[in-house]
Amino acid sequence: MDDYMFRSYVKDCKTVTEATSYLEVLNYSDSSLNTIEEHRFRGDELPVEFNNFLYRQGAFAPAKHKGGAKLVSGMRLILQQNAQHPETFSPRYLSLTHKSYEEMVRALRLPFRAIEGTSVVGPFFWSSMDQDDEDPHLQIIFRKSDVRKKGRTRGWEIMLSHSFRTGITSGYAKGTESSDMVKCIEHLRACAEQVMHPLLLPIIILSHDLSVKNDQKQRDAREWLRKLEHAVSMRDEVLPEESRYVKESIVDLDQINRDLVECHSQVLWKRPQAYQEIIRTIGDSMRIFWDKAKDIAAYGGSTGEVSKLHRSMESRLEFYQAKLKGIENYAHTTLERLSIQRAALYNVIAQKESKLGLKMAGEQRRLAHAAKRDSTSMKTLSLLGAIFLPATFLASVFSMTFFNFQDQDSPAPGGGSQQEQQQRNDPVVSKDLWIYFVISVPLTLAIVLVWWWWDRRREARYAVEDADIEAGIDKMEAQIMATMRQRTLNKARTWGTDPRSPTWMSEGSKSLTD
């Protein structure tokens, strides 16, 4: 079944091209014969040289040494240390051709199911013994695939197979620039005499993944959190470098909120719980290896060098376990404090939104009443109408035929001369014109006085209503703010003060924001 599944998965995978090299470390009973070779496969000779390396033929054939020197241990790796293709760690992608990948897995006795792990997320470790009783192999898969950054996949992967008969560990290792794979291989070369232990390379990679950078990330996040706490709680000891959160005496809540989110993500970087599980499974793999190796003479038993290395590696795993436990507790405290600051920030934001809502409601009510008052702006036109309407009305009345102030159309008595007749036809102002002014002027003044008295009463009524509105808004705002202050962090300090002091519980009580 494993063979069929392996061929099926390889067939479905896409391929990309990466620079490929090899590392061969061989240790002999005569240490002067030990060799470390690392070279890149040349492009024009890659298929031939690649197969020669896999099957240890041609230039890679086992050397014959005089004096009976025997091969004690070794490590033979196919390397892609600085993978560059953007899809190199995408699910179902291979950085070798289908034929080369299949030949590598079969020739080096690598685990078939490693191809099924191309889609796993986070750090992943697996190990198991194969089913070959005559030449048993311990198979190991250790990989981690990170999220894309700038459109490129990131991660590292190793597949190993350790032969208990020959003491040689064969495998394949790949990593992007961010994985420190180059440094890990350098450390492996420096520990070349200890390659008989198959877990050497996985622990080297683990030590790089749990380097001081991880601890520093938590320390930086805690320092960042301290600055955020000062900004949110408006403590007196805010430092100049924390002034980024305060602009013109106003707290920049948007900046604080963004930094809280970013700080939270920094704390969750390389969660200790995931690596604690990895360490546990690596420890299980080490026990599987030693249960098999301790009875094989080539490994030196419980007093040999491999046993010492094994105990040292176990001690290192215990150290990492304790270190991760401390980081877990440290990160948990940071996350709890972040939650408190986030809750306080949300209360501050809610308080500011409530104040803004109150202001908007007050402004809307004021605008409504202003619109109501402005609707009376037609009073000017009304006044003009009040002034001219009586006179216009009277003029219309007096222009009716009921009144005749001129008689120029009637003939002169006795049939006077033409000149007399012409003078009679000229316009004549009636002597009763005063009647018009006597009636229209008092009437107009009376109307204007009535309108002025009525407008003053209306303005007085509006003033009383506005005062009631303002008082109601201020009272409602005061009640809401008082309630919210009870739920919001303030600057009241209950430490370092005398409980007997009357101001012990009330000193410094103040809202977080104005």
pLDDT at position 465: 76
Q: Do 232 and 344 meet the contact criterion of CB atoms below 8 Å apart?
A: yes
Domain ranges of the chain: 2-209
User: What would the two tokens of residue 353 be?
Assistant: 């939104």
pLDDT at position 243: 55
For 257-299, what is the HEC assignment? HHHHHHHHHHHCCCCHHHHHHHHHHHHHHHHHHHHHHCCCHHH
What's the CA gap between 215 and 375, in Å, rounded?
70
- The pairs formed by 183-190 with CB atoms below 8 angstroms and a separation of 24 or more are 183/208, 184/208, 185/23, 185/38, 185/79, 185/81, 188/23, 188/25, 188/75, 189/23, 189/25, 189/36, 189/38
Q: Do 263 and 217 meet the contact criterion of CB atoms below 8 Å apart?
A: no
Radius of gyration of the chain (CA): 48
Residue of 173, 244, 251 whose CA lies nearest to 205:
173
pLDDT at position 452: 86
Q: Which secondary structure element, helix H or strand E, spans residue 431, and what is its range?
A: none
- For residue 102, the tally of other CB atoms under 10 A from its CB is 18
Q: What is the pTM of this model?
A: 0.68
What's the CA gap between 107 and 432, in Å, rounded?
135
Burial class (CB in 10 A: 0-12, 13-18, 19+), 149: exposed
Burial class (CB in 10 A: 0-12, 13-18, 19+), 85: middle
Kindly state the DSSP code that residue 6 receives in the 8-state scheme: H
Q: Do 79 and 21 meet the contact criterion of CB atoms below 8 Å apart?
A: yes
What's the CA gap between 240 and 68, in Å, rounded?
73
pLDDT at position 450: 86
Q: Do 108 and 172 meet the contact criterion of CB atoms below 8 Å apart?
A: yes
pLDDT tens string, the chain, 514 residues long: the values are 778 888 888 888 999 988 899 999 999 888 888 899 988 887 656 778 888 888 988 888 888 877 778 888 899 999 998 888 998 888 888 988 899 999 999 999 999 888 888 888 888 999 999 888 888 899 999 999 887 888 888 889 999 999 999 889 999 999 998 888 899 999 999 988 888 999 999 999 999 888 888 888 888 888 888 888 877 776 544 455 555 555 545 566 777 778 888 888 888 877 888 889 999 999 999 999 999 888 888 888 888 888 999 999 999 999 999 998 988 888 888 888 888 888 887 887 787 777 778 778 777 877 777 776 666 666 667 777 777 877 787 777 767 654 555 555 555 555 555 555 555 555 556 666 677 778 878 888 888 888 888 888 878 887 887 777 777 766 766 666 666 555 544 444 444 444 444 443 334 334 333 4
Packed helices 434-485 and 379-398: angle between N→C axes, nearest 10 degrees? 160
pLDDT at position 201: 93
Residue of 80, 84, 24 whose CA lies nearest to 52:
24
Helix (H, G, I), strand (E, B) or coil at 56: coil
How far from 394 is each of 95, 415, 434, CA to CA, in Å? 107, 36, 12
pLDDT at position 400: 60
pLDDT at position 104: 92
Residue of 125, 103, 123 whose CA lies nearest to 114:
125
